[in-house]
Structure 1
Amino acid sequence: MSRLVAATRASKVPEVSVLFWVTKVLTTGMGETTSDFFAVTFDPVVVIPLTGIALVIALVVQFRATAYSPWIYWMTVVLVSVFGTMAADVAHVGLGIPYAVSTVVFAVVLAVVFVVWRLSEGTLSIHSITTRRREAFYWAAVLATFALGTAAGDLTATVFDLGYLGSGILFAVIIAVPAVAYLAFRMNAVAAFWFAYVVTRPLGASFADWMAVPPARGGLGLGTGPISLALLVLIVGCVSVLAVEHRSVRRVRR
């Protein structure tokens, strides 16, 4: 237990930049299509626990790292994206919970994480992720945002009948709200960050679904496998750039 709450020497999360948001959106899209690909190609009873185990291993590696590592961090985010999507899909497909209900439930879960985190640590700023406990709160919030975003995206696409392209456009407009509010009206930076962070999930997933699903479902029919692979290539490219930038910053600071 003492190791869990021990302080770390530096923040374990990346600086927020344009490339951070681009990479985040790409991981949300990949999580959606990869989860769908796994569900169709493999037995969900097998693949879901295996994905959960892979996520746990990634989180252990992330927690054991002494400083921020772009490759470890984004590998963990990708696995959170895939498993978070599976969790939301199991709630709807496996348990028969309506998207409206699961959206509310996941929103409440996220709110509880934020409230407990704020009461415990006094801040929700990602720039303060310098202890094991704060890191645990951070990843709990990240997982909840992925599950919430998945349910919300499916809600607008299917229940509200906007379709995947319509949902993608809707969330593209919504994600501009915190940016405008922060720049023009001095919205709290932490609130603006988490607002945008939640919306990236349905934004990326909606456009990924639109490209992957067949025309009969309102998509381009490119397939979940090819879209997942294409997004993985783009993510690797973005993380490669982030890794180079991170090494450059570390050299300057030395």
Structure 2
Amino acid sequence: MTEADTRTMLNKVPLVTLFFWVIKIMATTVGETAADFLSVDLKLGLGNTSLLVGALLVITLIMQFSVRKYVPPIYWLAVVLISIFGTLVTDNLVDVYGVALETTTIIFSIALAITFVAWYASEKTLSIHTIFTTKRESFYWAAILFTFALGTAAGDLVADGMQLGYAVSASVFSAMIALVAFAHLVFKLNAVVAFWIAYVLTRPFGASCGDLLSQPTSNGGLGLGTVGTSAIFLAVIFGLVSYWTVRQRPPQTA
């Protein structure tokens, strides 16, 4: 690989800025509400919804892997779809196969840990600053999938399994995210470790916010519904990604 090829491939993952975290959290919210909308409101069921979203995700990831630089619409479409698919994976295990939330949380924690171990053993880094090969990008998207599935399981475990409710669950995970940021800024927690911990925690935080907004008041939500909540957040994501697309200046690194 030439120096020019390396510089180009560095653009496959966006800069980790405030925009990054805002869009990511909104994508996790959409992952929760859109999955419910497709499977429940449109009555597609978990099986059909999983097949539909899975097919769209495969197509989008093929597009993502085929480009040689960070293309915001493709990248963030992949994040939104993998968020929905990760939610559906957990929902299928829990609702269809009867696997306990505690068990799914452990399973996806182990799967994520194995991914990180294999990634580090192969590449000697987990930094998203260096996603410039197909192998590293493969590890990256595998880790992203497991963070979403784990976040869904952990969020449901806290909100439903422990019966803390959506608002309390969102508060718990937001406090944990704040602690990670504090540890990084004040106590110099390793940036890579802080990033991945925050990435996992923003999933249940976003999911709890999505449930809080979309679920009926009788279930502890605000009653906006899955359609309204998904539409609002998708519109904001579209606006931010469009702005980012216009304003991005190469070279773009994570």
Structure 2 length normalisation: TM-score?
0.94
SS at match of 2:9: coil
Quick one: which amino acid aligns to residue 42 of structure 1? K
One-letter amino acid matched to 1:43? L
- How far is 1:250 from its partner? 2.5
SS of residue matched to 1:96: coil
In 2, Cα distance between the equivalents of 1:95 and 1:180? 39
5+ long unaligned stretches in structure 1: 1-5
CA contact (8 A) 1:8 1:66 kept: no
Residue number in structure 2 paired with 1:112: 114
After superposition, where does 1:70-89 map in structure 2 within 5 Å?
A: 70-89=72-91
Comparing 236-245 with 104-113, which one deviates more in the overlay? 236-245
SS of 2:8's partner is coil
Q: After superposition, give the CA deviation of every residue in 1:53-100 in whole Å (9 maximum; x if it has no partner).
A: 100000000000011101110000000001100001001001101111
Query: Which residue of the partner structure matches residue 3 of structure 1?
Result: none
Contact kept in structure 2, 1:35 and 1:85, CA below 8 Å: yes
Give 1:139's match in structure 2, choosing from 138, 141, 157: 141
Secondary structure in 2 aligned to 1:250?
coil
Q: CA deviation at 1:42?
A: 2.8
Q: Which residue matches 1:245?
A: 247
8 A Cα contact 1:168 1:207, kept in partner:
yes
CA contact under 8 A between 2:31 and 2:83: conserved in structure 1?
A: yes
Find the aligned partners of 1:178 and 1:100 in 2 and give their Cα distance: 23
Question: How far does residue 159 in structure 1 lie from its aligned partner after superposition?
Answer: 1.1
Q: Does 1:37 align with 2:40?
A: no
CA contact (8 A) 2:101 2:153 kept: yes
Asked if structure 2 preserves the Cα contact closer than 8 Å seen for 1:165 and 1:206, the reply is: yes
> 1:61 corresponds to which residue?
63
Q: Secondary structure at the match of 1:175?
A: helix
Per the alignment, residue 157 of structure 2 pairs with: 155
Q: Which position in structure 2 is the counterpart of 1:9?
A: 8
- The answer to whether the 8 Å contact 1:19/1:238 transfers is yes
- Whether the aligned pair in 2 keeps the contact of 1:8 and 1:132 (CA below 8 Å) is no
Counterpart residue type for residue 10 of structure 1: M
Unaligned 5+ runs, structure 2: none
Q: Tell me the equivalent position of 2:199.
A: 197
8 Å contact kept, 2:33–2:214: yes
Q: Equivalent residue of 1:130, what SS?
A: coil
Moved more, 41-50 or 85-94: 41-50
- Match 1:123 to one of 118, 122, 125: 125
Q: What one-letter code is carried by the residue in structure 1 that aligns with 2:152?
A: T
Please give the per-residue CA displacement for 1:101-132, whole angstroms capped at 9, x wherever unaligned: 10010100000000000000000000110000
Kindly, what percent of the aligned residue pairs are identical? 47
C-alpha RMSD of the superposition: 1.5
Scaled by the length of structure 1, the TM-score of the pair is 0.94
Cα drift, residue 251 of structure 1: 8.6
User: What's the offset of the Cα at 1:240?
Assistant: 1.3
Q: Tell me how far 1:161 sits from its aligned partner.
A: 1.0
SS in 2 for 1:97: coil
Where 1:178 maps in the other structure, the secondary structure is: helix
Give the Cα–Cα distance (whole angstroms) in 2 for the partners of residues 69 and 160 of structure 1.
Answer: 40
- Alpha-carbon offset, residue 8 of structure 1: 8.0
Q: AA paired with 2:21? A: W
Q: Which has the higher contact order (CA 8 A, sep 6+)?
A: 2
Q: Write the letter of the residue equivalent to 2:61.
A: L
Cα separation, partners in 2 of 1:20 and 1:251, compared to 1, 3 Å: closer
